Amino acid sequence: MKKTRRIKIFKEFFIQLIYVSIGILIIFPILYALSVSFMENKDVLTKPINLLPPSATLDNYSIALTRTPLLRYLLNSTIVSLISTISRIIMGSMAAYAFSFYEFRGKKALFALAMATMMIPPDVLIIANYGTISKLGLINTYFGMCSIFLVSANNIFLLRQNFLSYSTSLRDAAYIDGCGTIRFFTKILIPTSSPILFTLFISSFVSVWNQYVWPMLVTKENEMRTVQVGVAMLKDRESSIFAPIMAAVIIALLPTLIIFILFQRKIVAGMMDGSVKA
Amino acid sequence: MLNAYQKISDQKGRGLSGKEDMRKKMEPYLWMAPAFLIFVVFTFYPFLQTIYKSFFMVDQVGRIRKFVGIENYLYILRDSNFLSSIKVTLMYTILTVPLSKVLAMLLAIMANKKRRLSVVYETCFSMPMAIATSVAAMIFQLMFVPSLGLINNLTGWKVQWLTDARIALLAICIVQIWLSIGYAFLFLLAAIRSIPADVIDSSRLDGAGIWMQVRRIYLPLISPTMFYLICTDIAWSMMAMSLVNVMTAGQYGTMTIMQYVYKQFTAAGNYTNANPASIIAFVLAFLATMLSFAWEKKGVTYQ
C-alpha cells in the first residue's frame, strides 16, 4: 500500500516536471529574447549558439532607450490605450444602460445593429477610415489613433448582460427616493458594476496596446508611433543589431505581460463571458 | 420594467408638460448616442462607402472618378497577385486554425487535473496570447536568421525561413500558431474542467484508452467551445496581415488579401483595386462564418 502511494507521488511529480518543461518550451521565445537583451551584440549570432549571455550587460537597454524614441513610443501607447479603454467603458456602459433599463421604439433593431458591427472586421474598413481621418486632419494625432477603438460592441454586450442581472426594482426604488436617472447611473450602477468594469478595462487595455495595423497607418511622424509600430520599424534601420532590438522588444512586451500575469483570471473571465453570445 | 417608471413619473408630474414627456422619450436614445455616433462614423459609413466606391474608378487620393459597375471586381479577379493572395489566405487559415486548436486541446486535456504546479504551467501555456504580433514577429525573426539564428543553429538545417517562397508562409504560420494556442487553451481548459469527473472516470473504468476518451467524451462535450473558437479564428485569419507585414512585407509567397489591400493603397495609391479587394475579403470572412454555422448544426452537441 505504502509502496503504491510512493509510486503515485513520484508519478505526480514526474508529470508536473514534464508539464512545466513543456510550459518553458512554449515561452522559450520570450525567455530567449530576454536573454539576448542582456548579451553583447557579438555574442548573439555565434556558433555554437549562446542561450545565456556569456557576459551580461545592460548596454542594450540604454541604447534602446537613448538612441530610439522608445520612451516616447511607450507614452504614446499608454495614452492611446487609456483613452480608448476609458471611452469604451463610458460609451459602452451608457449604451448598455439604455438597452437594459429602458423600453423604447426600435430597441431590438438598434441592439441588433450594434451587435452586427462585430461581424464587420475593422481591417475591411481601414481604407475608408483612413480617408475619414485624413480628411478631418487627424493623421498623427492621438484622437486619430484612438478613433476606431473608441467603442466595442462586445463591451456593450457584456455590460448589458451584467446590467440585466439587476432587478429593476432596485432602480425603481432609487427613483422613489428621488434619485434621477443620471444619478442612478453614476452613483449606483457604475460603482456596483466595478468587477466587470475592471475586467473590461484590463482586457481592452491589453488588446489596444497590442494593436499594430491601424496605429501604423495613421502615424507618419516617428514621434507619434506606438511601441508596437516603433519596435517593428527598428529592424529596417538596424537590421543586424539584434541585441538592442531585443531590449526594445522586452520593454515593449513587459507592460502587457505583467498585466496578463497579474490579472490572468480577470482577463479570462471577461473573454469567456464574451463567448456566451455564440 | 417601464411601468413602474411611468407610474412614478405620472405621480410626480400629473399633467406633465409635452416638453417633459418628449425629454423622457428621448432619454434612452441620448444614452446610446455617443456609442452610435462612433459606430456610424467608423463602422457603418466606411462599410457602405467601401461597397459603394468598389463600383467606381477611384483616383490616387480616393475620390470617385467613374462608375464602372463590377468591372473592378472582374479586374482584380483576373489579377494573378490577387488570386494568389486568396490562395495564401486560405492556406494560412488551413495551416493555423486546426493545428492551434488541436494543440490547445491536448494541452487542456493534460492540464485538466489541478496539481500543485498548475498555476505555473497554465500561465506558461497561455502566455503567448499577451504578446503583440509585431513583438512576436521581431523575436521569431531573430530565431529564423538563416546563417546563425537559433533554429538553424541548433538543428543544423540550412533553411531560408523567410526568403524561400516554399517555406516563408509556413514559417509565419508557426508564429501564428504560437500566438493563438494560449487563447484557445484557456477556453478549452474551462470547457474540459466543466465535464463532470465521474463521466471521465467511468469511461476509464470501461477501459477506454485516451484516444477513445477524446473522441467519445472530450470532443462532444467541448464542441460548443471548439465551435466558437474555430468560428472566430477563421473569420480573423481571413484578415491576417500584421505578421506578414512585419516579417516579409508580403514577399516570398506570403501576400495575404489584407496585405494586398494595404499594398495597393499605401504603396500604389490604387484605391480602385483596394476597395473591391477588401469587400471580397469581407465576403470570404462572412462565408466562412456562415459555413461554420452550418457545421455547427451537424457537429456540435449542446447539452
Q: What confidence tens digit (pLDDT) does each residue in A142-201 have?
A: 999 999 999 999 899 889 988 888 777 777 777 777 777 888 888 888 888 888 888 888
* Residues of A whose CB is below 8 A from B45: 128, 132
A contact residues 26-55, partner B, Cβ 8 Å cutoff: 26-27, 29-30, 32-33, 36, 44-49
Please give the tally of structural domains in chain A: 2
Read off the C-alpha cell for A110.
Answer: 438598434
| Together in a domain, A111 and A152 | yes
Tell whether A127 lies on the interface with B, counting CB pairs under 8 A.
yes
| Together in a domain, A51 and A74 | no
The answer to whether the Cβ–Cβ distance between B187 and A245 falls below 8 Å is no
Q: What is the mean pLDDT of residues B23-51?
A: 93
Tell whether B158 lies on the interface with A, counting CB pairs under 8 A.
no
Residue A141 banded pLDDT, cuts 50, 70, 90: very high
Select from A33, A94, A249 the Cβ nearest to the Cβ of B31. A94
**Cis peptide preceding B98, ω within 30 of 0:** no
Read off the C-alpha cell for B267.
Answer: 504603396
pLDDT at site B202: 81
Tell whether B53 lies on the interface with A, counting CB pairs under 8 A.
yes
Residues contacting A267, CB < 8 A, separation 6+: A199, A202, A203, A206, A260
* Residues of A whose CB is below 8 A from B241: 123, 213
Residue B205 host element (H or E): helix B197-205
The answer to whether the Cβ–Cβ distance between B281 and A229 falls below 8 Å is no
* Residues of A whose CB is below 8 A from B8: 172, 175-176
- Rounded to whole angstroms, the Cα distance separating B222 from B189 reads 9
| Together in a domain, A129 and A52 | no
Tell whether B92 lies on the interface with A, counting CB pairs under 8 A.
no
| Together in a domain, A51 and A83 | no
Q: What is the mean pLDDT of residues B36-64?
A: 92
- Rounded to whole angstroms, the Cα distance separating A31 from B125 reads 14
* CATH number reported for the structural domain that contains residue A82 in this entry: 1.10.3720.10
What are the tens digits of pLDDT across the range A192-249?
Answer: 888 888 888 888 898 899 899 999 999 999 899 999 999 888 875 545 688 899 999 9
- Rounded to whole angstroms, the Cα distance separating A236 from A216 reads 14
Residue B303 banded pLDDT, cuts 50, 70, 90: low
Residue B36 lies in a domain: no
pLDDT at site B1: 44
A contact residues 156-215, partner B, Cβ 8 Å cutoff: 156, 168-169, 171-172, 175-176, 181, 206, 209-213
What are the tens digits of pLDDT across the range B205-233?
Answer: 777 777 888 888 888 888 888 888 888 88
For residue B186, pLDDT beyond 80:
yes
Residue B66 lies in a domain: no
Cα torsion angle, A125, B240, B254, A33, sign: positive
| Together in a domain, A76 and A146 | yes
Q: What is the mean pLDDT of residues B3-12?
A: 47
Q: Which of A18-32, B9-23, B135-149 holds the top average pLDDT?
A: A18-32
- Rounded to whole angstroms, the Cα distance separating B48 from A116 reads 14
The answer to whether the Cβ–Cβ distance between A95 and B187 falls below 8 Å is no
Tell whether B147 lies on the interface with A, counting CB pairs under 8 A.
yes
What are the tens digits of pLDDT across the range A43-101?
Answer: 888 878 888 888 888 989 998 898 889 999 999 999 999 999 999 999 999 999 999 98
Residue B174 or B183, more confident:
B174
| Together in a domain, A19 and A137 | no
* Residues of A whose CB is below 8 A from B233: none
pLDDT at site A277: 37
The answer to whether the Cβ–Cβ distance between A275 and B228 falls below 8 Å is yes
* Residues of A whose CB is below 8 A from B274: 127
Q: Are strands B56-58 and B64-67 parallel, antiparallel or unpaired?
A: antiparallel
The answer to whether the Cβ–Cβ distance between B135 and A103 falls below 8 Å is no
pLDDT at site B268: 80
For residue B158, pLDDT beyond 80:
yes
Tell whether A146 lies on the interface with B, counting CB pairs under 8 A.
no
| Together in a domain, A144 and A254 | yes
For residue B7, pLDDT beyond 70:
no
A contact residues 50-89, partner B, Cβ 8 Å cutoff: none
For residue A266, pLDDT beyond 80:
no
For residue B11, pLDDT beyond 50:
no
* CATH number reported for the structural domain that contains residue B262 in this entry: 1.10.3720.10
The answer to whether the Cβ–Cβ distance between B289 and A119 falls below 8 Å is yes
Residue B235 lies in a domain: yes
Residue B4 or B161, more confident:
B161
- As a whole number, the mean pLDDT across chain B is 86
* Residues of A whose CB is below 8 A from B271: 127
CA A33 to each of CA A50, A51, A255: distance values in angstroms, whole numbers, following the listed order = 12, 10, 15
In the three-class reduction of DSSP (H, G, I as helix; E, B as strand; rest coil), residue B166 is classed as coil
Q: Contact, B143 vs B129, CB < 8 A?
A: no
| Together in a domain, A169 and A259 | yes
List the domain range (segments joined by +) for residue B197: 79-299
| Together in a domain, A162 and A178 | yes
Q: What is the mean pLDDT of residues B76-105?
A: 94
Residue B195 banded pLDDT, cuts 50, 70, 90: confident
Select from B5, B45, B124 the Cβ nearest to the Cβ of A26. B124
Q: Contact, A249 vs B135, CB < 8 A?
A: yes
Residue B269 lies in a domain: yes
pLDDT at site A137: 94
Cα torsion angle, A35, A44, A26, A64, sign: positive
Residue B231 or B279, more confident:
B279
Select from A98, A120, A246 the Cβ nearest to the Cβ of B43. A120
Q: What is the pTM of this model?
A: 0.87
* Residues of B whose CB is below 8 A from A249: 135, 138-139
Cα nearest neighbour of A119 on chain B: B286
For residue A23, pLDDT beyond 90:
yes
Read off the C-alpha cell for A77.
Answer: 501607447
Shortest CA gap B146–chain A (Å): 10
pLDDT at site A274: 56
- Rounded to whole angstroms, the Cα distance separating A130 from A273 reads 32
In the three-class reduction of DSSP (H, G, I as helix; E, B as strand; rest coil), residue B68 is classed as coil
Please give the tally of structural domains in chain B: 1
- Rounded to whole angstroms, the Cα distance separating B155 from B287 reads 41
For residue A7, pLDDT beyond 80:
yes
Residue B140 lies in a domain: yes
The answer to whether the Cβ–Cβ distance between B130 and A151 falls below 8 Å is no
CA B213 to each of CA B1, B92, B104, B208: distance values in angstroms, whole numbers, following the listed order = 48, 30, 17, 6
| Together in a domain, A51 and A137 | no
pLDDT at site B100: 95
Select from A44, A127, A175 the Cβ nearest to the Cβ of B8. A175
Cα torsion angle, A228, A230, A236, A239, sign: negative
Residue A273 or A227, more confident:
A227
- Rounded to whole angstroms, the Cα distance separating A192 from A198 reads 11
pLDDT at site A236: 59
Q: What is the mean pLDDT of residues B18-35?
A: 86
How many contacts (CB atoms, under 8 Å) link A and B? Answer: 266
The answer to whether the Cβ–Cβ distance between A114 and B39 falls below 8 Å is yes
What are the tens digits of pLDDT across the range B123-156?
Answer: 999 999 889 999 999 999 999 988 888 888 888 8
- Please report, rounded to a whole number, the percentage of residues in chain B having pLDDT higher than 70: 92
List the domain range (segments joined by +) for residue A24: 2-57
Residue B122 lies in a domain: yes
Select from A103, A113, A246 the Cβ nearest to the Cβ of B1. A103
Q: Which of B253, B215, B229 is nearest to B84 (CA)?
A: B253
Please report the ipTM that was assigned to this predicted complex.
Answer: 0.87
| Together in a domain, A146 and A186 | yes
Shortest CA gap A6–chain B (Å): 17
B contact residues 247-276, partner A, Cβ 8 Å cutoff: 258, 261-262, 265-266, 271, 274-275
Q: Which of B6, B31, B61, B295 to mutate to test the interface with A (most CBs of A within 10 A)?
A: B31
pLDDT at site B14: 46
- Rounded to whole angstroms, the Cα distance separating B177 from B96 reads 6
Residue B243 banded pLDDT, cuts 50, 70, 90: very high
* Residues of A whose CB is below 8 A from B137: 232
Select from A20, A129, A151 the Cβ nearest to the Cβ of B117. A20
- Rounded to whole angstroms, the Cα distance separating B36 from B31 reads 10
| Together in a domain, A261 and A152 | yes
Residue B32 lies in a domain: no
pLDDT at site A276: 43
